[in-house]
Structures are given as structure tokens and as C-alpha cells.
Structure 1
Amino acid sequence: MGCSGLMGTNQNVRLMDKSDLEPCSELMLKVFSGEPWFDQWDSVLHVQQYLAEFMDNPVFMGFVIEQEGKILGASFGHTKSWYSGKEYCIQEYYIDTDLQGGGLGSALMHGIKGYLKSINIHCMVLLTEKDLPAEDFYRKHGFEVKKDIIFMANRF
């Protein structure tokens, strides 16, 4: 699943393991604390608890893109059985804020797709906010808006 040649450097996409939790938590806090999200996590430990819950899922599947052992981005998700075959549900997907726009997000996406195809998964699904750069990124990678589905929440 290696990807190379981006800007003359060598990145690697691989399956995530438990030892990636701490660096992925630190990176997620960095990425989502800034614009356009401004998430207000209490601490890196709070993020770590959040991401550990994904890892504890028996059908968890995560990926990192790294260079020389440093994690530059991650995808946290899980597989889901569906009538048309298994799907990969992306829960969190992010690239280091300082490195966005340089092709790393695309390299991670291509690495994920390659791996999923190898295990006979041919569909990815996710939720993202409208009208933010993430929407354009996912559209560029073949995701489409499902017009017949709505997201609902009930705060009480």
C-alpha cells in the first residue's frame, strides 16, 4: 500500500494499530481545533478517549499516512455489512493542517481504496459538513451526495 513520488518525498499508507492512538489523537486535536471547524476538545486525552472508542469496535479499520515514522494523516472507520456487500464507513479523516493541499489526503484515499478493493470492499460512506473544503475533496474522490437521506439529531 505504499505511495511515493509526492513532492519528491516518500509517504507510506498502512493499516493503523493501537500504538498509533496517541500520535493520531495529538494530530486530530491540532487539525480540528483550527478553522473551519473550531472543535473545542478538553484535552488530547479527551480526543484519545473518543478515538479509542472507534478502535474498540470489533469491525474497526483505520489507516495512517506517514513519512519516516511520523504520522501525517489518518482515517478512522469501520466496516459494515450491507445487502450489496460490505462498506467502509469513515468516521474521522484528517491530514496535518500544515500539509493540506499537497496531495497527502489524496494519497491516503488512494491507499485506502486499494486496500479495500483487495479485501472485496467497493463502497465508502461518510458524513461531512456542507460547503467546507472537505466536501469538495470528497466529491473529487468520487463521493456523491445522497439526496434521499437526511441526517437527524435530537438534543435533550
Structure 2
Amino acid sequence: MEIKKVLKEDLDKLIPSFKKAFNESEWNQRWTDESVRISLTNIFDFPHFYGLIAIKEGVPVGAILGHVQTFNDGKTYYIDELFVDPIFQKQGIAKALYGDAIRELKKLGVSGAFFTTLTNSSAYDFYKSQGAIHLEDSAVFYHPF
């Protein structure tokens, strides 16, 4: 498996693994090629974008995507997406993407990462196993309108 910096020209190659990761269980969402393309374009175009792609046997199987933002007196990475095609899950790919991103971002002076996930998900357990801290004094809000 190869992990490398993701480029905008990789965007369309990520659509199949993104759709599989989020449309199948456990998330059961309803992404289309077009909605994935729009979402990923927004992420790639955000200022200070940083991401890595995992490639196995020439096929993109996952990625970590986000952006670096100045926060208080330092830099923080905001993870927008971390996903792996379900066929390739439980093989250490997410761990490799996450770990490599942390190592590379530290070299850029980034001191931590913020992200959200559901507490009743395998993603929550994954992040905890990697040393992430559930901020008990913080809340994530969604305001429908």
C-alpha cells in the first residue's frame, strides 16, 4: 500500500471508495457521484487544504482530507473526512492515513486536530484507540432550517 499527498486531480478517483464507505452500513447514507464530487471539491478548494490518499494495487481505497487553520496561538488540523472502502477496512489503512497525517502535520507546526463523529460508531472507537480525546465540555450542534 502507498500513502501519498492527495492532489485535486485525484478527486474523481476517490468517489467510488467514498460512496462505498458512507453508503454501506454502518452509515447508510445516500451519496451520489455528483454529491460526492461537490463535497470533495469544496474540501479540496478550502484554504490550507491538506490530505493523504491510500492506494492499494493501483486503486485509491481511502483518504484523510481536511484543512489547517490558525487557532489561538497555533495551527490546528480540521479533519473533514477520513474514509476507507469497506472491502479494505480492518487492514490498518485508516490507522496509517491518520498516523501519517499526524506525523506530516507536526512537521508543519500543527499541534492537534479537531473533528466530529458519532459516539455510537466504529469511527468513535477508532479515534479513541489512536489517542484522540473526547472533549466532554464541548458540544456539536446541528440547527435544521
Common fold, TM-score beyond 0.5? yes
Give the deviation of 1:67 after TM superposition.
2.6
In the alignment of these two chains, the number of paired residues is 145
SS of 1:113's equivalent in the other structure is: helix
Q: Once the 2 structures are TM-superposed, how far is the Cα of residue 118 of structure 1 from its aligned partner?
A: 1.4
Q: Distance in 2 between matches of 1:130 and 1:97?
A: 20
Alpha-carbon distance, 1:115 to partner: 0.7
Say yes or no: does 1:40 pair with 2:30: yes
AA of the residue aligned to 1:129: L
Where structure 1 has 5 or more consecutive residues not aligned to the other structure, the ranges are 1-10
Counterpart CA distance in 2 for 1:151 and 1:58 is: 23
Deviations 1:50-109 (A, max 9, x none): 110111112111111113432121011011101141011101100110111111111111
Q: Residue 110 of structure 2: SS of its match in structure 1?
A: coil
Determine which of 20, 25, 47 is the counterpart of 2:15.
25
- Matches of 1:13 and 1:125 in 2, distance apart? 22
Task: Report what 2:50 is aligned to.
Answer: 61
Q: Does 1:118 align with 2:100?
A: no
Structure 1 runs (4+) greater than 3 angstroms displaced? none
Structure 2 CA distance, aligned partners of 1:97 and 1:68?
16
1:48 is displaced (CA, Å) by: 0.6
Between the aligned partners of 2:107 and 2:57, the Cα distance in structure 1 is: 25
Alignment-mate amino acid for residue 21 of structure 2: V
> What amino acid is the match of 2:12?
E
Report the residue type matching 2:128 in the other structure.
R
User: How much has 1:121 moved relative to structure 2?
Assistant: 1.1
* RMSD value, Cα: 1.1
Query: TM-score with structure 2 length normalisation?
Result: 0.94
Q: What aligned pairs does 1:69-84 form with structure 2 within 5 A after superposition? A: 69-84=58-73
> Which blocks of at least 5 consecutive residues in structure 2 are unaligned?
none
Return the alpha-carbon distance in structure 2 between the equivalents of residues 69 and 80 of structure 1.
32
